[in-house]
Structure 1
Amino acid sequence: MKNSLKHILITLFLLCHAGVLAFSGTIDFMPIVSNYSQSSYDGGLQNWSVTQSASGQLFFGNQKGVLSFDGYRWNCHTLPSHSIARSVLADGDRIYVGAYTDFGFFERNHLGQYEYTSLWPNDYKAHNDEIWEIVKAPNGHIYFQSFCSWFDYDGRKVVSHYDQNRLPLHFFKVNNRIYVQMVNDGLFLLQGSRYIPLLPRTAYGNDDIVGLLSAGQDKLLAVTSKNGIYIYKGGKISRWTTDIDQDLQNYQVNKTTLLAPATLVLGTILNGIYAIDLKTGRRLWHYNMANSLKNNTVLGLLTDRNNNVWAALDNGISIIHSGFPVTVMRTDRQRLPIGMVYGLCEDGSNLYIATNQSLWHYMGDRKEIRQVRNSNGQNWYVTSYDRQIFAGHNLSTLSVTGDAATPIPATTEGSTTLKRYHANGQEVLLEAGYSGFRVYRKQDQVWKPTGHIEGFQAPIVEFETDNGGSIWAAHFSKGIYKLDLSPDLTKVVRQKYYGALSKGGIPSLIHVMKIRGRIVFSYQGQLYTYDDLHDRIVPYKSLGPSFPRNIISIATVDNERLWTADANAYALFRHDGKHYRRVVSIPYKMFGLEVNSNGISQYVSGRNTYFFLNNGIGRYQMGNKSGKTAKFPLTIAQVSSMRSYNQTENISCESSEKPKIHADNIRIVLSYPNYDNQLITFSYKLKGRGKEVSSRQDNPVVSLNSLSYGNYDFEVVALSVDGEVLGKATYQFERVVPLYLSIWAFLLYAVLCFLMIRQYINWRTRKIIRRNQRQAQEEMMRQNLKMLEQKQIIAAQQKIIMENELTTKSKELASMAFKVAVQKNNSDILREELLEKKRRGLLTDRDFKDLITKSDAEDSEELWDIFQQNFDLIHQNFFRKLRSRYPTLTPTDLKFCALLRLNLNTKEIAKHTNLTIRGVEGARYRLRKKLGIDNKLSLTDFLIDLK
């Protein structure tokens, strides 16, 4: 089993690393570089200048305007003309900006937004002016310089200066003086509005001075574009030789700045940035695109108040963290990929580096790194005991001398860690590996392996020993063992396995370490320790609230200080007598390289702490920070509130304006410069409505929700990683009661409520009245229905009566008709008798006519009265209707109308009326005129249809 595991591991390693070759190269520890691309700051590619305000915020003259940055947020502020911002200068609360035929300043308004004010003089005749430099004169005036003119702004008005014989190329402010490099001319001093010549151009190689800096003791450093560096003192100039003079001639210097305490930084057009030691002229470091810099063309340089260097580049922005006490030695940029670092050992000024590819020897005096011979493959560690250097190789343990490694005899298995071990009065070296432990004893002042420890063969990745001599050994992938050795250290006499440290946990990798003499385990984001009184492993919470729970490894500095490595950062902790308190935090993202997070990933030697990276090493030098970290004011950058329908309402950042919010939430954006990715905590309190809410967070954006109505006081402090107060800010605001909840609104609601109640009562009353009316109407309808039914009964009865009367009348009419016929027959007989008497002469003609007429008249009147009564009854008051509508009708006319309604023809009418047919026609004509009937209409039809 042991041999199979060994052969598998060896085979896998050889397959993975068969291509590793020996390299050599020149390399050094240099400050970390962070780059910001166009996508980071959302501006243009080119950045022309950089300045820092009193609040610590940085501003860049960018292709699209002015960029602002506080380490957390980028903002782009465009000019009204959308011109390129060539130059910027921060002075007080203003950011002065220079562009093509325009210059002015940005200033924050009460909403935290930057507003631009142009100072360009309208009466000035432009000479294709573009403002390339902005300086603050000793008298407090602001000078804006183009290649043709310069403009003097005293805070109220602008005075332009143009001299066609003196065209300024660069303005320099040094020691409260303004120096001017002229176009195709020498160096001048600006006094008032006059140019005072100082040096002819030939004095410094017929070149342009692009940087003029103070070198102390009335000396100036004059940096030319292509002819090197000069020292100007007492009116005389001399060349200053450095070891990069040839590079300066080849790559064209463009911008300069100074670093404390004595470093000159030069930005070139063609090859990035150089740093020179002002005392020796030696190159300290050089950055270009081959070793981390974003771009080789430097258009602007600035040393910020934390001694970092900012570079405005032709493509992007870079910061060189020269003020941060961490440097990095990168090998990937030198085409020397050493691999992932697993161990390191300091040997004087030299370093031995164990990686997954080989063992490397770094010689600090020569800045050179070499591959150690015979060390290809995985190396888990490199360490030194009594000047004897050991390396834990994948195949064996190596003894290292100079640039060569030799396998130690009897070590034919991989070695993962090697530590001193004291037990039973013995001091040995205890080595863990793929198949258990091996013991080293000192023989003839040399450590030599003396044999395996019997009774245990598991692969071990790391181990620690407690005060009782027990060994706590972490398995390569799961669980931990507690081992007790025999007095002669040759075998394991007791062992106990812990697969998981929490209830229900899954066996997995457990990191073991020793903190102030106590064994501590890190398992699945929690810390545990061994309780020797009860012989059990328990959670460990005594290290302090800021101590990480998911640590991977530690490195002890001394009894009070230690470094930790967790999933996100390295941190230095100091014990204050009760707990550990964090004093330094270095996020992994600072390095720009992957960090070894599989096991031990830091190494402490004296004042140096080294961090294990992929193709590189980080180094922290305690007490070597150049100056104390600058403090800046903590400011309220922006305040807003989210109203309904996702509408953002910007609110005044100034408490003096008594800002008011209407929604139940507020978003406060804080600003504190943090360019080194430090762990700054924002601790705030919110007081109001008799309550107090407090919290801490790393994010500078504070969101407060569910706010009640009333006044609030917001207090916030920025705390450093060690709890130091960096800045404070306060903000007062009020969540106003909306109009619909005001006193007047409630009065209105009361009135409306009263009116509504009153309206309801009226409505209810009307409803009851309507209901009663409806019920009365229904009752009336029921009564009417009953009356109608009764009327219908009465009508039916009357109809029966009328039908009976009609029957009677019809009988009377029939009887009358019979009587008429009888009378007519009698009349005819009488007429015949009278005619007979007349023929016999018994009657005269006169008497005959009188008797006939009288007989007819008596019969006609009696018959007409009876006829009229019955006809009128049968034909629904026919004669009444005619008399009422046509009052001019005579009784004869009425008789004619009745005969026509009976639809009698002319002969029949003539017979009944004793008229001739012509007489009947005449009567019809007269009747038509009285009734007003047209000739086209039938008189008979009219009378039949009359109703």
Structure 2
Amino acid sequence: MKRLLTIVFIISLLIVDKYSVYAQSSNFIYYPVDASLISGQLKAINNTGDGILWGASDNGVMRFNGESTKYFPTAFPSNYIKSFTKEKNGDILVVHDLGVGKIISTGRDYHFENFIEGAHQFNKNKLFYPKSIFATDNKEYWIGEDSSIVRYKQGEHLRRYHLKLRSQSPHYVRSILFEIDGFKNPWVFSFSGNIFRYNKKKDSFLPIKLPIQINEISWVTKNGFKSFFVGCKQGLFEMEVNRSGQLIKWKKRVNLLDISVGEILSKNKLILGTWSNGAYLVDLHKNQPTYSKINLQGNEDVLSIDYQHGKGIWIGSTESIGLLKELPFNRLDLLNNHVLVESAYITKNGSLIFSEGDSVRQFIKKEGEWKQDYVYSFSDRIRSIGEFEGKLVFGSYVGDIFFTSPNSNKYSKLKEIKFTQSITSFFEDEENNLWIIGEYQPGIYKYSKEHKLSYLSDDNLKDVQVIKGISDGSFYVGTAHKEYLLQRYNYTDQKFENLNLQFPRTVADDIIIRDILIDTETVFLATSDGCFSFDRSTSTTIPLKEIEALGLEKEANLKAIARAGNTLWLASFKGVYRVENGKAQLFDKTNGLPSNAIKIGGLVKGKQKELWIVTEKGLLFHSEDKPLPKATEIQSIKVVYSGNDGVKNLWDMTTDIPYYSNVEVSYTSHSFPLINTKYQYRILSQDTIWSEMENTGKISILNVEGGKYTIEVRSQEKGKLISAVSSITFNVITPWFRQIWFYSVVGVLTIFLFFILIRIYNKNLREKGKRLEYLVEMRAKEIATQRTKIMEQQQELFNKKQKIIENEKSIAEAELKNSQWREEQLQDIIDQKNGRLTAVTLNIVEKNNFLHTLQNQIKKTVEDYPELAVSLNKLNKTIEQSDKTDKDWEEFQLYFDGIHSDFNQKLKEKHPNLTAHDLRHCALIRLNLGLNECANLLGISQDSIKTSRYRLKKKLALENGHNLQDYILSFK
């Protein structure tokens, strides 16, 4: 066994050595644009600062608003666009084959202008197939052609400088590049690999001799007061010059070949694109710069990069564009990204330990990066990790607990644990006891510093979920039962006390506490029905406050909680929320989470300003030093209405909208991709409640009434806070028939008309009153006559009714007498049948008595004269045979059935096993005959009749205590 452990230990060390290079990586996510791009070379992209992206192509200028593209092939004299350059005011200089133009855009409106004229044939006063342009601070422009440089200043003639070389890129872009150093000296970089400095005194460009020969210079940018980055075929170089324009430093910084374009992201980070091998993230922070390839989903020819702060990095290739966003999290590179991550734990010394399948990996921070330091191997999957007395504690999915020293694979197992499901949580209290809970287990284990194990299983400790606390204070246990949802350990009584939680609203009956966060003053509960907090105190009645924030889902089903400074982090089934100052932003897979399935308790606060997020498909962290995307941009709003004067677009409300028009309000934040942005609105003239968040950026209002309308809109992009409110106000013209004066005139006329009508009505009413009095008098006389006739008719009807009642009474008395007569006749018949039945019964009794007497005399004679025994015995058998075949029983049965017609049938149906003898016996019992009478009638002794009744009781399946006679009498 010891040898096996040694082998495992050596293998684990080899694994650590082999894979120790794996560490965290900066992540990007690429959103390609699928918006009807026209196939053709897309040579450059740029933005006008209002969310609109412009592209330079061989099909003219392209405009992309985040949703769709539109081409303008006739915006400029030539549709072959070569490059863009943005001026400080946001206008874009457009270089095309026949000159330079401008794009002037404000997001909702734009137009094109011609700026510098060009020509198909060489003309010293016009540009000749320009390729690039550079604008200085003093409104001076440098334009690059194939073999010359042109200087242009408004109001002056063109000044051309011939370079005595031809510099043309095979892609017809960036043949000539410009930059100006901190000393205001212009520099020219040609695609052929030559560099020139402008000499003001000589008014000429002087070549610069480089230490090595380079070519295909495609990207140049100033990275300091007197230094430049130069990207070319041989890699990225740093060039430094002095005031006199002399080269004082030339150093290769990145060994990345065929650089086509680049963009500086921060002081030590930049993105470099290549002509045919994609784009790379470059880190210059270290002595040995590193670079890693960015996944552009197959777009390998990178021609342009446009970095928009707060939005992302637009990447343009020959036939596609896409938005590259740097993720707010750093993902920890794992050996196998297909293995589920179970849990993570930060040790007291700051190491990161996390469970990955059947192994547990230990990472430490070296030189600013997290690198693997050790691997712990187990036969079972590890669910939870903790520390106790300087040792590491591991809980498995099958309920086992292991102890080991750091950086050791020698384990001891706690065998007394009887949990059958996974171990979910550990906690070491201030008395150095280790508390252990299992998933949905009916109790908690306590492992003391004396290494004694005890089990607490009170009713309020059923279905425990989580145990959390601070080492020098109280600790809490959360459960899955609403009645005893939260327990607090009382050190004085050495037991858990149930806390009476008073929720600020009605919560679900099946609410679960999944995670607990405790700081010095406040306790936070992450539950399946929202996040709540309360102030720490000794009271057992706890009033809760709900954590609410703009952008946070109400009654969210939460799985984990953590805190970093003033920021609260909440993990739900939709992703991770960051809550600060009453606002929340949501991060999910679209923001770089490997999975939205975050583990329960999967938010872990590190000791070095990191927040670790444990998902099923990976482990990542956010550094507090890394800024997160802030608020979503304010959206622009447009109103389109259709009325009697046609369809019109309104950006401002200087024009009134006709009454009863159909109005459509559209709004967008120009955030790409649009599916990541949701909007909500409210119409203040109708309601003050905000609508639900939805992707639709449009409101339709049919048949608008007159008045003033104010519509407020705000939006939220995934990973950002909700935007500020944008509003638009428009006025709907109220027609003359809806004006106040019109209603006033109509009101006065109505009152006057009403007064006239009342006068006429009163006059008519008086005349009608007189006629009505006469009619009433005449009608009263008619009514009196009719009333007399009615009274006479009623008296006549009453007399007839009395006669009918008397007749009915006589009939009833006759029917009663007839019924009594019939009953008397029926009773006579029954009495006759009873008499005959009695006579037959007595006849049978007398006959049986006579036969019994005769048999007794025969028996006595046999005793006195034995010689007559043979003859007398034959006579005795004849008597017995006569007793059995007697016809009197048939006559008895006939009269018995006449009185009790269905008795034998009902008895036979219920008990088909009864014999004829049994039925006779039952009939005699039905006649209430005693034992002696039944014995005489059946011709047997009283003992035999008792035996017969006993057997009869068994056949009838009567239990002990049931009376045979009562049972027989129940058959009517």
- TM category, shorter: 0.5 to 0.7
Instruction: Give identity over the alignment, percent.
Output: 10
Cross-structure match for 2:466: 462
Partner amino acid for 1:112?
Answer: R
Cross-structure match for 1:636: 636
Question: Aligned partners of 2:163, 2:313: CA distance in 1, in Å?
Answer: 37
Partner amino acid for 2:208?
Answer: L
1:172 has 2:175 as partner: no
Question: Aligned partners of 2:55, 2:401: CA distance in 1, in Å?
Answer: 55
Question: Aligned partners of 1:113, 1:191: CA distance in 2, in Å?
Answer: 42
Cross-structure match for 1:253: 259
- Distance change (3 Å), C-alpha of 1:702 and 1:138: same
**Contact map agreement 2:485 2:512 (CA 8 A) in 1:** no
For residues 204-237 of structure 1, what are the alpha-carbon distances to aligned partners after superposition, in whole Å with 9 as ceiling and x for unaligned? 4232433333243423333332154132322125
Q: 1:28 aligns with which of 23, 26, 40?
A: 23
Cross-structure match for 1:329: 332
Question: Aligned partners of 2:438, 2:340: CA distance in 1, in Å?
Answer: 21
**Contact map agreement 2:559 2:601 (CA 8 A) in 1:** yes
- Distance change (3 Å), C-alpha of 1:665 and 1:156: farther
**Contact map agreement 1:568 1:588 (CA 8 A) in 2:** no
**Contact map agreement 1:143 1:151 (CA 8 A) in 2:** yes
For residues 484-510 of structure 1, what are the alpha-carbon distances to aligned partners after superposition, in whole Å with 9 as ceiling and x for unaligned? 8898999x8999999x99999675865
Cross-structure match for 2:604: 603
Q: 1:378 aligns with which of 381, 406, 410?
A: 381
1:566 has 2:572 as partner: yes
Cross-structure match for 2:732: 735
User: Greater shift after overlay, 126-135 or 737-746?
Assistant: 737-746
Cross-structure match for 2:359: 358
Partner amino acid for 1:297?
Answer: D
Cross-structure match for 1:391: 394
Q: 2:249 aligns with which of 238, 249, 256?
A: 238
1:37 Cα offset (Å): 1.9
**Contact map agreement 2:585 2:722 (CA 8 A) in 1:** no
Cross-structure match for 2:304: 300
1:137 has 2:123 as partner: no
Cross-structure match for 1:212: 220
Count how many residue pairs are aligned between Structure 1 and Structure 2. Answer: 693
Cross-structure match for 1:112: 108
For residues 794-828 of structure 1, what are the alpha-carbon distances to aligned partners after superposition, in whole Å with 9 as ceiling and x for unaligned? xxxxxxxxxxxxxxxxxxxxxxxxxxxxxxxxxxx
Alignment of 1:474-873 (within 5 A): 474=480, 507=510, 511-514=514-517, 517-518=522-523, 520=525, 522-523=527-528, 541=546, 548=553, 549-557=555-563, 561-574=567-580, 581-582=582-583, 585-606=586-607, 607-625=609-627, 634=634, 636=636, 638-641=638-641, 649-655=647-653, 663-671=661-669, 686=684, 695=690, 701=697, 703=699, 705=701, 707-712=704-709, 731-736=728-733
1:187 Cα offset (Å): 0.8
TM-score, reference length from structure 2: 0.58
SS of match in other structure, 1:26: coil
Larger Rg: 1
Question: Aligned partners of 2:707, 2:500: CA distance in 1, in Å?
Answer: 61
Q: 1:39 aligns with which of 34, 37, 40?
A: 34
1:79 has 2:73 as partner: yes
1:33 Cα offset (Å): 1.1
Alignment of 1:383-422 (within 5 A): 383-384=386-387, 387-395=390-398, 396-399=400-403, 401-402=406-407, 404=409, 406=411, 408-410=413-415, 415-420=422-427, 422=429
**Contact map agreement 2:479 2:513 (CA 8 A) in 1:** no
Question: Aligned partners of 1:386, 1:65: CA distance in 2, in Å?
Answer: 72
For residues 713-735 of structure 1, what are the alpha-carbon distances to aligned partners after superposition, in whole Å with 9 as ceiling and x for unaligned? 55667899999997675644333
**Contact map agreement 2:594 2:615 (CA 8 A) in 1:** yes
For residues 537-556 of structure 1, what are the alpha-carbon distances to aligned partners after superposition, in whole Å with 9 as ceiling and x for unaligned? 99864656765421413433
Partner amino acid for 1:298?
Answer: V
Question: Aligned partners of 1:317, 1:24: CA distance in 2, in Å?
Answer: 36
- Distance change (3 Å), C-alpha of 1:275 and 1:715: same
Question: Aligned partners of 1:89, 1:280: CA distance in 2, in Å?
Answer: 32
Question: Aligned partners of 2:383, 2:43: CA distance in 1, in Å?
Answer: 48
SS of match in other structure, 1:431: strand
**Contact map agreement 2:447 2:454 (CA 8 A) in 1:** no
1:311 has 2:315 as partner: yes
User: Greater shift after overlay, 153-162 or 25-34?
Assistant: 153-162
1:199 Cα offset (Å): 1.0
SS of match in other structure, 1:589: helix
- Distance change (3 Å), C-alpha of 1:487 and 1:303: closer
**Contact map agreement 2:58 2:79 (CA 8 A) in 1:** yes
Cross-structure match for 2:929: none
1:317 Cα offset (Å): 4.2
1:415 Cα offset (Å): 4.2
Question: Aligned partners of 2:596, 2:573: CA distance in 1, in Å?
Answer: 9
Partner amino acid for 1:666?
Answer: E
1:196 has 2:190 as partner: no
- Distance change (3 Å), C-alpha of 1:318 and 1:339: farther
Partner amino acid for 1:428?
Answer: N
1:266 Cα offset (Å): 2.4
Cross-structure match for 2:85: 89
1:182 has 2:190 as partner: yes
SS of match in other structure, 2:600: coil
SS of match in other structure, 1:600: strand
Question: Aligned partners of 1:713, 1:122: CA distance in 2, in Å?
Answer: 49
Question: Aligned partners of 2:214, 2:531: CA distance in 1, in Å?
Answer: 69
SS of match in other structure, 2:346: strand
- Distance change (3 Å), C-alpha of 1:340 and 1:87: farther
1:609 Cα offset (Å): 0.9
Cross-structure match for 1:757: none
Question: Aligned partners of 1:471, 1:100: CA distance in 2, in Å?
Answer: 74
**Cα RMSD after superposing both structures:** 5.5
1:590 Cα offset (Å): 0.2
Cross-structure match for 1:810: none
Alignment of 1:271-310 (within 5 A): 271-278=277-284, 280-283=286-289, 285-289=291-295, 295-306=299-310, 309-310=313-314
Structure 1: runs of 5+ lacking an equivalent: 1-20, 575-579, 747-947
Partner amino acid for 2:136?
Answer: A
For residues 861-883 of structure 1, what are the alpha-carbon distances to aligned partners after superposition, in whole Å with 9 as ceiling and x for unaligned? xxxxxxxxxxxxxxxxxxxxxxx
For residues 65-94 of structure 1, what are the alpha-carbon distances to aligned partners after superposition, in whole Å with 9 as ceiling and x for unaligned? 655567x64544443389575433333353
**Contact map agreement 2:386 2:427 (CA 8 A) in 1:** no
SS of match in other structure, 1:255: strand
Cross-structure match for 1:762: none
1:388 Cα offset (Å): 3.5
Question: Aligned partners of 1:630, 1:239: CA distance in 2, in Å?
Answer: 42
1:269 Cα offset (Å): 3.1
Partner amino acid for 1:327?
Answer: N
Question: Aligned partners of 1:158, 1:728: CA distance in 2, in Å?
Answer: 49
TM-score, reference length from structure 1: 0.60
Cross-structure match for 1:795: none
Cross-structure match for 2:906: none
For residues 133-177 of structure 1, what are the alpha-carbon distances to aligned partners after superposition, in whole Å with 9 as ceiling and x for unaligned? 343233325555454566767679995958583445222233465
Question: Aligned partners of 2:97, 2:443: CA distance in 1, in Å?
Answer: 75
The one of the two structures with greater contact order (alpha-carbon pairs below 8 A, sep at least 6) is 1
Structure 2: runs of 5+ lacking an equivalent: 1-14, 168-174, 744-972
1:594 Cα offset (Å): 0.9
Partner amino acid for 1:611?
Answer: I
